[in-house]
Amino acid sequence: MATTATRPLDMDRLNDFAGRMVGDLGAAMSAALVVLGDRLGLYKALAGLGAATPADLSVASGTHERYVREWLSAQAAAGYVDYDADSGRFHLNPEQAMVFADEGGPAFMTGAFEIIAAMFADEPKIAAAFESGAGVGWHEHHTCLFRGTERFFRPGYNANLVSSWLPALDGVVAGLEAGIKVADVGCGHGASTILMAQAYPKSVFTGFDYHAGSIDRARVAAAEAGVADRVNFEVAAAKEFADGPYDLIAIFDALHDMGDPVGAAAHIRAQLAPGGTFLLVEPFAGDKVEDNLNPVGRIFYSASTFLCTPASLSQEVGLGLGAQAGEARLAEVARQAGFGHFRRAAETPFNLVFELRS
């Protein structure tokens, strides 16, 4: 019989590992409290108040003081808020406020906790898929996934898309400033599409997504942002969108979710104008498993297990690239789709940015 034991039990190592698990358990339980605090507006209310007692925060947020006291204590134990024992008051320091309360900032992270909530809610579906080998479509997940995904990725787009990613592409910014036609494929709630439209008012943008609910929300968001006159959102799959040719086509953090990424990339190539550019943004990953055994890889492999790989396996071809595909596999997808030019143009700790041309 096979055994996993390769050496005698080391009690010091066991104690260290158990201690790490205590930290992980606390983090996992804190995730539910982050979702709760975000939903009830507790973080934003606390940021507005400054140092506050539980009673102060309960009044400001319209919640019950006893619950708020327990929530604040748990947040302080997690290091998510600061506590002053002399005054009995809690507050968000500037860094905590940026992460939990500044929705428009570059470090806002509470959207990720909504994604985690969807993963727990959908665990029975994924367990069944493990046993059957079937996929689970993006549209089959809990609705908080769609909002959480947009809120998780938007800060990174705010921080990088206009300032560094688009300028890293040869000649693209000049075209956007003069006025070109752009498609954003797999646009979700339209955060990336709207951001580009705000930065480049002479260009025209169309966002495509197969999920009708996301497109409905994207249209509302475009109106709220005041760019509905030059941004259109349509329900269409990555292999079916039309109305080209486009000078720039982008996919942000979505190609690996597709069942047939080669077919999607080939369709993008067919929809590009001569000399047009395909901007491909994917989660940061090395080419080998051992390259990704780190905190960022932990997040992306976990999300890929519950979200990305099941989405791909639910579609035709079902290639199952996963969120940690890496540059070499993405370059092979580009080659098979007919692109002769594939270049890493930029990167962040969370993303790889590629420029593709025929």
Domains defined along the chain, listed by start? 24-100 (1.10.10.10), 111-357 (3.40.50.150)
- pLDDT tens by residue, 156-207: 999 999 999 999 999 999 999 999 999 999 999 999 999 999 999 999 999 9
Assign 165 to helix, strand or coil. helix
Assign 285 to helix, strand or coil. coil
Task: Spell out the alpha helix ranges (H) of 171-290.
Answer: 172-178, 191-199, 212-225, 261-271
Assign 342 to helix, strand or coil. strand
Place of tokens 């940690």: 324
Please state, as a whole number, how many other Cβ atoms lie within 10 Å of the Cβ of residue 132. Answer: 8
Q: 227 with 206: CB under 8 angstroms?
A: no
Whether the pLDDT of residue 344 is over 60: the answer is yes
Confidence band for 7, pLDDT divided at 50, 70 and 90: confident
Q: 169 with 279: CB under 8 angstroms?
A: yes
- pLDDT tens by residue, 41-75: 999 999 999 999 999 999 999 999 999 999 999 99
Give, rounded to a whole angstrom, the gap between the first and last alpha carbons of the chain.
54
Residue ranges with strand state E in 66-225: 82-84, 89-91, 181-185, 204-209
Whether the pLDDT of residue 152 is over 70: the answer is yes
- pLDDT tens by residue, 288-333: 999 999 999 999 999 999 999 999 999 999 999 999 999 999 999 9
Sorted by sequence, the CB contacts under 8 Å of residue 299 that are 6+ apart come out as: 112
Question: What is the reported pLDDT for 6?
Answer: 80
Q: Which two tokens stand for residue 321?
A: 């690239």
